[in-house]
């Protein structure tokens, strides 16, 4: 008789090394922590906090952490990397990102994958996978090589990826270079469930002091340049509809403040919130717009905020970057959102207006989006895949899974 998922793992412990727990990389690890815990693994979360001593606010109260605080320089990192590695007590070592702040302590804790199986998750193109070595040189020389994470240390860390017994990635671009298994950054579908009794749209609006009758567009997270907030702001400004952009998170480079000043009455700002509160804000909103800007880094990413919105059956509008067309069913008859060919404000505004004026179609696409995640990216499917990968890595012993690498 086949074992259920909850009994697959037995009493195996996994040590997760996460880059800079004072920032958002824990968001990617959250999917794995949830799934591994569901199928019976013990999980410990280990990582540096860099410059700031506090855990990133949305996850500060969610988990227990083993941390060491360091400054953002190589000297501080190298002084503390062995003490951090020694905190790992797991049977398997799992690094998130192939960079010095997470992968180096994971390599030390596993003795390069010899004493314990070493696994790796890759969610960003830290290395520059589509550039030749000669093209990487200017990028390396242009950065401060004294920082914990820089192009030189990224290149060095990348040479040890073949020591890993298993790899997961977030996008097809990363899969083409590293191989492994694609795992999207999905939320807990029970928590991010629009049918929860406490997630009434208008009650959530009142709770968060959002306008009851206006169309609410939600933007959650840090306003990094490749996320296209400036283009979203311009598209909102150009619309005559009664619409408001709600920005949730910590400002970065003054972009939130700049957006608020430009949109005035069309913008509301909310500070970073606990991850478990995000479904309330999604429930209160009408749509999520993700105007990713084309570029090597963005092409390797699949934003977690996309899956959060899909889980909550929200209207999703994004640009043709990375795997967006596949995830939102651009070529399918039954589409799951809108993919705009350009991040230019004109095209974003047209699509936002169309979605507002066609609420039935927007609702149908939102329903299909949640169904797609439940069918294709459920915790059960991801858990079975990870359990199989972990079992192979333990049976393989000291031999890395080199055949999965390209």
Asked whether residue 404 is domain-assigned, the answer is no
Tell me if 393 sits within 8 A of 166, measured CB to CB.
yes
Q: Per-residue pLDDT for 78 more than 80? A: yes
Q: Which two tokens stand for residue 335?
A: 């589409």
pLDDT-derived band of residue 141, with 50, 70 and 90 as boundaries? low
Q: Per-residue pLDDT for 80 more than 90? A: yes
Query: What was the pLDDT predicted at 406?
Result: 36
Other C-beta atoms within 10 Å of 213: how many?
A: 7
pLDDT-derived band of residue 396, with 50, 70 and 90 as boundaries? low
Asked whether residue 195 is domain-assigned, the answer is no
Q: Per-residue pLDDT for 270 more than 50? A: yes
Q: Per-residue pLDDT for 159 more than 60? A: yes
Q: Per-residue pLDDT for 132 more than 60? A: no
- The whole-number average pLDDT for the span 353-377 is 98
Query: What was the pLDDT predicted at 402?
Result: 44
Give the span between the Cα atoms of 291 and 294, in whole angstroms. 9
Tell me if 306 sits within 8 A of 243, measured CB to CB.
no
Same domain membership, residue 387 and residue 319: no
CATH number, domain of 253, equals 3.40.50.2000
Same domain membership, residue 367 and residue 393: no
Same domain membership, residue 19 and residue 101: yes
Same domain membership, residue 146 and residue 182: yes
Q: Per-residue pLDDT for 177 more than 60? A: yes
pLDDT-derived band of residue 394, with 50, 70 and 90 as boundaries? confident
Query: What was the pLDDT predicted at 395?
Result: 72
* Overall number of domains in the chain: 2
Q: Per-residue pLDDT for 351 more than 80? A: yes
Q: Whole-model pTM? A: 0.90
Residue predicted with more confidence, 401 or 71: 71
**Residue tagged 């090597």 (tokens):** 296
Q: Which letter does DSSP use for residue 142 in this model?
A: H
Q: Is 194 helix (H, G, I), strand (E, B) or coil?
A: coil
- The whole-number average pLDDT for the span 195-214 is 97
Which of 242-246, 249-253, 335-339 is least confident? 249-253
What is the bridge-based pairing of β-strands 181-182 and 267-270? Answer: unpaired
Query: What was the pLDDT predicted at 5?
Result: 42
Q: Give, for 339, the enclosing helix (H) or strand (E).
A: strand 338-340
Same domain membership, residue 160 and residue 65: yes
Same domain membership, residue 349 and residue 211: yes
Asked whether residue 207 is domain-assigned, the answer is yes
Angle subtended at Cα 346 by Cα 341 and Cα 352, rounded to the nearest 5 degrees: 80
Q: Per-residue pLDDT for 140 more than 70? A: no
Same domain membership, residue 395 and residue 369: no
Other C-beta atoms within 10 Å of 386: how many?
A: 24
Give the span between the Cα atoms of 212 and 197, in whole angstroms. 19
Same domain membership, residue 166 and residue 230: no
Give the span between the Cα atoms of 309 and 327, in whole angstroms. 12
Same domain membership, residue 71 and residue 218: no
Asked whether residue 247 is domain-assigned, the answer is yes
How far does the chain reach from its first CA to its final CA, in angstroms? 37
Other C-beta atoms within 10 Å of 192: how many?
A: 24
Query: What was the pLDDT predicted at 1?
Result: 32
Asked whether residue 83 is domain-assigned, the answer is yes
Q: Per-residue pLDDT for 356 more than 90? A: yes
Residue from 96, 83, 20, 18 nearest 51 by CA: 20
- Residue span of the structural domain in which 9 resides: 5-186+378-399
Same domain membership, residue 227 and residue 98: no
Q: Is 119 helix (H, G, I), strand (E, B) or coil?
A: strand
Asked whether residue 84 is domain-assigned, the answer is yes
Asked whether residue 405 is domain-assigned, the answer is no
Distance of CA 397 to the CA centre of its chain: 30
Q: Per-residue pLDDT for 89 more than 50? A: yes
pLDDT-derived band of residue 137, with 50, 70 and 90 as boundaries? low
Q: Per-residue pLDDT for 134 more than 90? A: no
Same domain membership, residue 149 and residue 292: no
Query: What was the pLDDT predicted at 138?
Result: 52
All residues at 6 or more sequence positions from 67 whose CB lies less than 8 Å from its CB, including other chains: 21, 46, 47, 48, 49, 55
**Residue tagged 């749209």 (tokens):** 201
Asked whether residue 192 is domain-assigned, the answer is no
Q: Is 68 helix (H, G, I), strand (E, B) or coil?
A: strand
- The whole-number average pLDDT for the span 70-82 is 96
Same domain membership, residue 149 and residue 9: yes
Q: Per-residue pLDDT for 405 more than 90? A: no
Query: What was the pLDDT predicted at 131?
Result: 52
User: Average per-residue pLDDT in the chain?
Assistant: 90
């Amino acid at each position: 008789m086949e074992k259920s998922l909850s009994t697959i793992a037995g009493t195996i412990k996994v040590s997760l090394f996460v880059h800079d727990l004072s920032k958002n990389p824990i968001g990617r690890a959250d999917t794995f922590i949830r799934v591994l815990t569901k199928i019976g693994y013990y999980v410990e979360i280990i990582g540096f906090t860099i410059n700031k001593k506090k855990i990133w606010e949305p996850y500060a109260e969610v988990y227990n952490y083993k941390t060491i605080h360091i400054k953002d320089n190589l000297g501080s990192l190298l002084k503390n990397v062995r003490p951090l590695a020694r905190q790992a007590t797991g049977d398997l070592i799992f690094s998130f990102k192939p960079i010095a702040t997470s992968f180096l302590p994971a390599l030390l804790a596993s003795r390069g994958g010899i004493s314990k199986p070493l696994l790796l998750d890759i969610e960003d193109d830290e290395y520059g996978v589509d550039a030749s070595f000669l093209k990487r040189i200017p990028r390396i020389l242009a950065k401060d090589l004294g920082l914990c994470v820089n192009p030189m240390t990224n290149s060095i860390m990348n040479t040890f990826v073949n020591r890993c017994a298993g790899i997961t990635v977030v996008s097809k671009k990363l899969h083409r270079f590293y191989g492994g298994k694609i795992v999207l950054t999905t939320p807990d579908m029970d928590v991010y469930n629009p049918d929860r009794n406490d997630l009434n749209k208008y009650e959530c609006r009142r709770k968060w002091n959002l306008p009851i009758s206006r169309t609410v567009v939600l933007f959650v997270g840090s306003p990094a340049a490749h996320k296209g907030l400036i283009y979203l702001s311009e598209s909102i400004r150009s619309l005559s509809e009664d619409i408001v952009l709600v920005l949730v998170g910590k400002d970065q480079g003054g972009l939130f403040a700049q957006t608020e000043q430009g949109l005035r009455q069309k913008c509301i700002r909310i500070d970073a919130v606990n991850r478990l509160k995000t479904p309330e804000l999604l429930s209160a909103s009408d749509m999520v717009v993700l105007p990713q800007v084309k570029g090597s880094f963005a092409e390797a990413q699949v934003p977690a905020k996309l899956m959060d919105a899909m889980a909550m059956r929200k209207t999703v509008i994004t640009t043709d970057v990375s795997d967006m067309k596949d995830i939102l069913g651009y070529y399918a008859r039954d589409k799951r959102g809108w993919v705009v060919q350009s991040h230019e404000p004109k095209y974003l505004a047209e699509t936002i207006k169309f979605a507002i004026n066609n609420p039935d179609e927007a609702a149908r696409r939102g329903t299909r989006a949640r169904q797609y995640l439940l069918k294709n990216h459920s915790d059960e499917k991801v858990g079975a895949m990870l359990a199989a990968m972990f079992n192979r890595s333990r049976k393989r012993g000291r031999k890395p899974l080199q055949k999965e690498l390209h």
